[in-house]
Structure formats: C-alpha cells, structure tokens
Structure 1
Amino acid sequence: MARLTMQRALEPNWINELFEQERGLQYTRQLLFSTTVELMSVVAVGLRPSLHAAAKACKDLPVSLQALYDKINGISPSLVRALVQGSATRLNEVLAPMLGGRAPMVPGYELRIVDGNHLPASEKRLKPLRGFRGAALQGQSLVVYDPDTDLVVDMLPCADGHAQERTMMQAVQQQAKPGQLWIADRNFSTRSIFCGWQERGSCFIVPEHGRTPSPLELDAMQLRGKIETGIVHEQAVSIENDQGKPIRLRRVELHLERPTEDGDTVIRLLTNLPAWEFTARSVARLYRCCWRIESLFQRLEAVLHSEVASLGHPRAALFAFGVAVMAYNVLAVLQSAVWVAHDLQDSDVELSSYCFADEIRTHYAGMVMAVIPIAWEPYDSMTAAQLAEVLLQIALHANPKSLRKHIRGPKPSAKKGYVSGAVARRHVATARVLKNGLVK
C-alpha cells in the first residue's frame, strides 16, 4: 500500500515537469529532481539515517555527493511549496472515492487549520557558523492542515528563522476561497489578516490578541450558556478594512473552569461565522475540538524524520521538511484505507501513525528487493478511483488491532522546583533502590 501510494504522490514525470515550472535558477543536467525527492523520501520515512547514507546506498546515482548537496542547497522554497500542494492534490483524488460517505467535521464548510512550525537548530557544519556558540536556526514554515482528510494541503517555507509568521500569511491567504473555515492561533489576530479572509469570502475563528486588532464594541457582553469547559459569553464588535468600511464580527468569550497551561482563565475568540448557523457555544466547542495541528507537528517529528539537523543550509532543511510532510500525507491515505476497509467509524479503535511508519520501516526494504520494478508499472495507468479500490482491497488484509493507538492516561503534574548543582549531579544504583524501596 505504501509503495503504490508513494508511486502516485511522487510520480517521477510529474515531479520533473513541476521542477521545470518552478526551478528558478536551477537546471537539469544529469541529476533529475525526481531522484533527489526519492532519496530524501527514504530519509523522511526513516529507511536511511541521513541523505549521505541514502546516496551511498543508491547504486545508480549519476553525480557526486557534493553535486547532490549543491542541488538540494539551491532548491527554492516556491518549488517545495508546489511539491507539497501538488502531491496533496494527487492524493486527495485517491481519498475522495474512499471518504465519499464520511461527513465533514463542520457541515457545509471546508475546514483549514493554519499554524507556523520552526525547525530546530542545526549542526554547525557551514563554515560561517563554526565559531558561533549559539543556535543556528534552519527556517520555518506555515502549514495548512485539512482535518477532514488528515492531509497537509499547503506549506509555505521561509528560510529566515526570525521572520514574523504574520508577514507570511498573505501568501497563504491567496488559497482561501468561499465556503472555507480557517482556524488559527492568536498570533494571526490582526486586522489585515481578518480583512483578507473576509474579502475572499472565507470564515475564520481566531483567538483575540491582547493588543490587536482592538475591535470596536457594538453592544454589551451577553451570557450564552455553559459548555464542558466553562461559561460562554458573546458580544458584537467591528473592525475597519483598508477602505475604512466597518466589518461586523462576533467576540465569543469562554470563561474557563480550569486555567490553561499558560495561566489564562478567559479565551476570547473573534469570528465572522453567521449567528443563525453557529451559536456562541458551538463556536467555542468548534475551536476547542478542531485545534489539532500541534499534534500534527508532534507526529511529524516523532513518526517521521522531518528535522534533519545535519542539513545546515536552510533551503536543504526546508526541502527535507517538505518531503516529510508528503510522507505524512502518504501515511494518512493508508490510515484512511484501513479505517474504511474495516468500517471503524463506529468503533473505538484509533489508528496510530507511528505503527504504520514502523511497519513500513520494517518490511519496505525487503519488499523492494523481492519484487522486480516492472511489477509496479501496471499501476501507473490506473485512475484515482481504481487505485483507491486496490488500496481498499489490500487494506482488508491488515490487522487494525496491531495498528491501533494505545492512549496513556494523564501524567500527574509534579513541580520539581530548584535544587543545588550537587544534588542534581548525584547518582544512584537503580538495583539498590529497588531492593531497599527508597533512595538514600
């Protein structure tokens, strides 16, 4: 299933045509862009620990290792974005026949969740960084996630690790259209961002920032009832667009029964959703249930090799992250196929991305050695619907119980507090502690 899905998402002819459209100053001489993507996908899935190891294992690499690194160091962010967008579109065509009967999370709307992701500090392999003692940031990305399909549908890479996420939002908003509902965190609570969604006919739910956009209050706060996490109030407010015309919004306040990790007791949401369709309580519940993109970033880091610290050049690191996002989308298609084939909609079984990735890492290399390449060629001519049917047939042989997620209970919160360095550096023998039942 993984091989067939990757074959559709990373089809070489399509990737090479995309490179010619978005290549910028780069060109193709001996090394095809599809070969570069294939090598990086091996690293992203975890079959090889690094790009160097993947290249050394490639028997027919037509260029030197230095030429390969020069190639990925020059890949433009626009090409990475087009790669993620195009592969998501191709996989969505396969998912559509599978999920035809699944109801969307928000009926009548395409849900989009957007958030920024900063890559961690890299190893200081670049010569200008070798004498620097601090952290060298590889860059960041704005990621747009569709929870209905579990696909990342857009990613805007930025090589500047210190750039403000708000400045990147305008390019992402070009993809907004009527009938969509966008959810973001308070970092995107600005007048220009709200007006951008409003002009394109999209709806939004965003927590209000403490200083911006400072909307004008149109009436008094009114009590709207109680939900699972607190008491809900609502108020009509407005902001002005670039032409000075007022835009009417709703401010939904959720007074929490328990403070958040940051100590907040009140969450203020700004939205342009119509009141006749969404009550204040439904808006508060919707934001609470749909804000799941943080767990997506955790899965990318834990399940896939999305953060390659050895790639010090920002463009190379962003390219690696983009390929990892495409690999995550492949896993999402496999999970949907097993979910639909075994009719898990009404069961309590929740599938684990980690288990799927572990199965692929365990068996993929052996399968590639055992199956000759020509055996995969008939699947290239299949339509998206035909491929979806094949995936569902294969998924019937999977065991959902071995791929399920095992959810742990909440960890007890314990404040460690400050101790001296001598206490922190102290060590004990675990065997003696278990024997005596206490730490001496």
Structure 2
Amino acid sequence: MLSPVFERFAKKSPITVIARGMMERVLHPEQLDQWFSTIEKNQYTKDLLFSSVFDIMSQVVCGSHRSVNAAYQASKDEICVSITSFYNKLNGIEVSTSAELVRYAAGQVSPIIEKLEGKNDSPLPGFRVKLLDGNCIEKSQHRIKELRNIGAGPLPGKSLVVYDPVLRLPIDVFPCEDGHAQERSMLSAVLLSVQSKDVWIADRNFCTVDFTFGIVFQGAFFIIREHKKYPWKSLGQERYIGKTDTGTVYEQRISVVDQTGKSCSFRRIRLTLEKETRDGDRDIFIITNIPEDAVDAIKIAESYRSRWKIETAFQELTVYFNSEINTLGYPRAALFGFCVALVSYMILSVVKAALASVHGKDTVENKVSGYYVADEISATYRGMTIAIPDEEWIVFRKMKVPQLVNTLKELSSNVKLSAFLKHPRGPKKPAPERTSSKTSPHVSTAKIIANRKKK
C-alpha cells in the first residue's frame, strides 16, 4: 500500500511512520478546519486557519521545536500572518474548543484501537471503566504585564481528565481557566457526560454526595475513595471478606442522604494495607454502588488500585511531551497546549495498540518504555517530514479501516522491540553520609578517582 519513498523509514523507524500516518488519518488540515467550522462560529479564520495553529502547537508539544516562536519562524512563509496575529489567535481559542478537540480526536482513534485488538483487558468486564483525575498546569512565566510585579506563581488553569485504561486513552477533558478553582466545582460538567454502565473510579477529592448521587441517577456506577467529610450511616456491621496481595478486605452497607432527602444504599469497603501508603494511611475506605452479585469487594479494591494509570498518564505527558508550556501565560493558550498534548498522547496510544497487536499486550504494557517510543518519534519526525512530501501521506486518509489496520500491523512487525524496552532500577540504596569542609568547597574528581585506583 505504501509507495517506495516510505521504504527506508518503514524499516528504520516504523514507529515514526505510524505516528505520522495517524496524524494524517485523524487530524489532517482539511479535516481539522472542517471540524473547527462546525463547532466554532465566533472566531475569524480567513487569514489564519485553525489547522495552522494546531500544527505549530503540536510541533512544540512533541519537541520538534523548542518554543512557539521557533515553530512559528519555521512556518511563517506558509502561515502568512505576523507573530502578533498568531498569538492573538492562540490566546483567543475558547476552552470549549480545546475540550471538543480532545473528544473529537478520541472518537477518531478509538475505533482504530478497537480494530487493532491491542486493548488492555478490562478490570471490570461488562462495564466501561473511566478514571477521573485533575491536572493543574504549572505556574507560567511573568510575561503578562499585570503579572510582572507579582511574586506568586501565576497558574494559567486546570483540567479534569477522563482516561480509558482499556484503550490507554484520554477520552474527555473539562478545562477551567481559573487556576485556583476547586476541582469539585467542575464536577457538574462531568456529570453531563456520564452514561449508563459507566464505572467512574476516582480519588477521595471527588467523593461528594452530589457527584455520587448524580452518577446513580444516570444509571451508572462509581468506585471512589471515601472523603473524611462524606456523610453516611451504617446499615450493618462490617464483615470480613478476604485477602488481596496488598492487604485485608472488609465490607459493610451504608446509607447516604442528599440535600433533597433522597436516600441511597451503598457499599463501604475497607482495605487494610500491609504497608502504609506514602501519606501514612493504613486503611483505605472505598464507596461504591456496584451490586455485590456483579462484582465482589476484593475485585472492587483491586479495581480502585488501577486508578494509578491516569496518574502515570499525567507523568508521561510531562516526561514525553511539552504538555505545560510555561511561556504561555494566557489561560486559553495554556489549556489549548495541554489539550494538544492529550491529542498527541492519543497518537502514542495507537502506536502502543499496534505494537500490542503484534508483540503481545503484556509485553507492551509492562516492558515497553513509552519514553523511548516518544523519543524515537521526536528524533525522527522532523527529518522524515522533509524527506517524504506531504502528498505521499494522503494514502493514510484513503485507506479503509481493514487496510489501515493491516498496514499498522505490518509496520509494527518491523519494530525491533529490544530498542524500546524498559530498564527498571533495583531498590534504591540509602545515600551515604557526606563530609564537607568550609575551607574546601570543591574537590578534584580526577585526584579522588586516582586514589581509588591506588587502593
């Protein structure tokens, strides 16, 4: 299916070909601009297309260029607008547009991952698991005039992100321009997205009566760690259930009443850990409305532990991509940059799914380093776009899904997986006590090594 011009890259860097091909399939300029025209009626696009803004931001996020200005300078002949006009456009992108971009991209790549059969196994078969967590964008530089005489770190915004652990995919985002906003204040928007048969897994910060009842009223389910202020009454004694590999599980029935007087009966599960958490907690209390005959308490406790995957995804966003560009002080621009990073992460998810379809799910999930994969894409992408003309990539748009899946699998079979394996460290050794001298703040490394050799 691919022309001979792809041959060298398909053999030497097939992962980068997959990534670029998926960008062409899902987010090519014509498709992006058409999508933008359907959801945004207020922004003027005659001189600067949305696809051009996305392209420049994706270059910065993926590491092809170190800054927005550098990416602009490399593309200014094609863009044909001033840097001021570009920043005005970037700073004016509505947060709703940024959120819709993530939902649109997730909807485009999800069927491809499904067809690749490279998904993870579901922690709760029969349900769609959604992990919810918040992300606060790091403080920006003080470039905005009003911030220059302020000592405190300016926060350009935060988001709630929904992650699908089966697809390895961020599927939704709820951005907020107020960097000081409580995450709980954003939950009303999340409730509008809840669907029947969902299972929402979240930390205790999201354990509110309104949120848990809202999920129940939508015909969905939740597994949320109990907040100490969550009001409940016991409906029976706690009983022993069994043991897991991390501790002992107990369960009891509880009753919760909302502000309108409506009452719901939930399960309260206690996991007593063999070792304390980093916060010093020995007992973890989990609230859920999943029926006992559907999922037992031990499985509930184990499923809650899967929420670390969204925290891992946030860490990967920070390490693999430039997801929080601290030169972008305006909230809308910073949040758009974060959402572009989420979209880039989706492309990485397709790469992992393609690898899993050929090399095995367990191998990709537990042994392949996403850092090495992202580094390979970043190192090769720019040169490949120069070597292979844009028109050659159109073939990825025209492929039918079965053809696309076969092409991705064929490319994945060329990947030398040994070059992308993790190298886990052993347990850390305690640091030795250091000696210092006020009269000699520095030492000669060469002399110290020479003394070691004499010994």
**Shorter-chain TM-score above 0.5:** yes
Alpha-carbon separation, structure 2, partners of 1:33 and 1:323: 12
Asked whether 1:151 is paired with 2:163, we answer no
Residue 411 (structure 1) shift: 2.6
Change (3 A) 1:44 1:195: same
Asked whether the equivalents of residues 113 and 167 of structure 2 are also in contact (C-alpha less than 8 Å), the reply is yes
Q: How does 1:155-234 map to 2 (within 5 A)?
A: 155-212=173-230, 214-234=231-251
Asked whether the equivalents of residues 30 and 63 of structure 1 are also in contact (C-alpha less than 8 Å), the reply is yes
Asked whether 1:376 is paired with 2:397, we answer no
Deviates more, 1:265-274 or 1:100-109: 100-109
Partner of 2:83: 65
Deviates more, 1:375-384 or 1:196-205: 375-384
Q: 292, 308, 322: which one pairs with 1:305? A: 322
Asked whether 1:125 is paired with 2:143, we answer yes
Alpha-carbon separation, structure 1, partners of 2:448 and 2:158: 45
Alpha-carbon separation, structure 2, partners of 1:372 and 1:330: 20
Change (3 A) 1:344 1:157: closer
Deviation string for 1:397-425 (max 9, x for gaps)? 111111122222333466999x99x98x9
Asked whether the equivalents of residues 183 and 291 of structure 1 are also in contact (C-alpha less than 8 Å), the reply is no
Residue 150 (structure 1) shift: 0.4
Change (3 A) 1:251 1:433: farther
Residue 209 (structure 1) shift: 0.6
Asked whether 1:142 is paired with 2:160, we answer yes
Partner of 1:91: 109
Partner of 1:289: 306
Q: Secondary structure at the match of 1:278?
A: coil
Alpha-carbon separation, structure 1, partners of 2:285 and 2:385: 53
Change (3 A) 1:436 1:199: farther
Q: Secondary structure at the match of 1:60?
A: helix
Q: 380, 390, 399: which one pairs with 2:407? A: 390
Residue 348 (structure 1) shift: 8.6
Q: Secondary structure at the match of 2:141?
A: coil
Residue 155 (structure 1) shift: 0.9
Change (3 A) 1:398 1:324: same
Q: Secondary structure at the match of 1:374?
A: helix
Greater relative contact order, per chain length (Cα 8 Å cut-off, separation 6+) = 2
Partner of 1:31: 48
Alpha-carbon separation, structure 1, partners of 2:118 and 2:323: 31
Alpha-carbon separation, structure 2, partners of 1:239 and 1:306: 39
Change (3 A) 1:22 1:51: same
Partner of 1:82: 100
Q: How does 1:329-368 map to 2 (within 5 A)?
A: 329-345=346-362, 350-368=367-385
Residue 435 (structure 1) shift: 4.5
Partner of 1:274: 291
Deviates more, 1:216-225 or 1:284-293: 284-293
Counterpart of 2:395, as a letter, is P
Asked whether the equivalents of residues 23 and 79 of structure 1 are also in contact (C-alpha less than 8 Å), the reply is yes
Could you list the runs of 5+ residues in structure 1 that have no partner in the other structure?
A: none
Asked whether the equivalents of residues 140 and 157 of structure 1 are also in contact (C-alpha less than 8 Å), the reply is yes
**TM-score of the aligned structures, taking structure 1 as reference length:** 0.93
Alpha-carbon separation, structure 2, partners of 1:435 and 1:211: 62
Deviates more, 1:345-354 or 1:52-61: 345-354
Counterpart of 1:379, as a letter, is F
Deviates more, 1:14-23 or 1:389-398: 14-23
Structure with bigger helix share is: 2
Q: Secondary structure at the match of 1:339?
A: helix
Residue 426 (structure 1) shift: 4.7
Residue 298 (structure 1) shift: 0.7
Residue 16 (structure 1) shift: 1.6
Counterpart of 2:137, as a letter, is L
Asked whether the equivalents of residues 23 and 75 of structure 1 are also in contact (C-alpha less than 8 Å), the reply is no
Asked whether the equivalents of residues 118 and 354 of structure 2 are also in contact (C-alpha less than 8 Å), the reply is no
Counterpart of 2:374, as a letter, is A
Residue 27 (structure 1) shift: 1.7
Q: 14, 20, 35: which one pairs with 1:18? A: 35
Asked whether the equivalents of residues 94 and 385 of structure 1 are also in contact (C-alpha less than 8 Å), the reply is no
Change (3 A) 1:416 1:148: farther
Deviates more, 1:304-313 or 1:376-385: 376-385
Asked whether 1:402 is paired with 2:419, we answer yes
Alpha-carbon separation, structure 2, partners of 1:250 and 1:96: 33
Alpha-carbon separation, structure 1, partners of 2:170 and 2:226: 25
Q: Secondary structure at the match of 1:267?
A: strand
Alpha-carbon separation, structure 1, partners of 2:300 and 2:261: 27
Residue 168 (structure 1) shift: 0.7
Q: Secondary structure at the match of 2:299?
A: helix
Alpha-carbon separation, structure 1, partners of 2:408 and 2:214: 40
Alpha-carbon separation, structure 1, partners of 2:84 and 2:262: 56
Q: 59, 79, 102: which one pairs with 1:42? A: 59
Alpha-carbon separation, structure 1, partners of 2:271 and 2:120: 30
Asked whether the equivalents of residues 349 and 404 of structure 1 are also in contact (C-alpha less than 8 Å), the reply is no
Asked whether the equivalents of residues 8 and 91 of structure 1 are also in contact (C-alpha less than 8 Å), the reply is no
Could you list the runs of 5+ residues in structure 2 that have no partner in the other structure?
A: 1-17
Change (3 A) 1:292 1:217: same
Asked whether 1:261 is paired with 2:278, we answer yes
Alpha-carbon separation, structure 2, partners of 1:97 and 1:195: 35
Alpha-carbon separation, structure 1, partners of 2:173 and 2:68: 22
Residue 395 (structure 1) shift: 1.1
Q: Secondary structure at the match of 2:306?
A: helix
Partner of 2:13: none
Residue 184 (structure 1) shift: 0.5
Deviates more, 1:138-147 or 1:19-28: 19-28
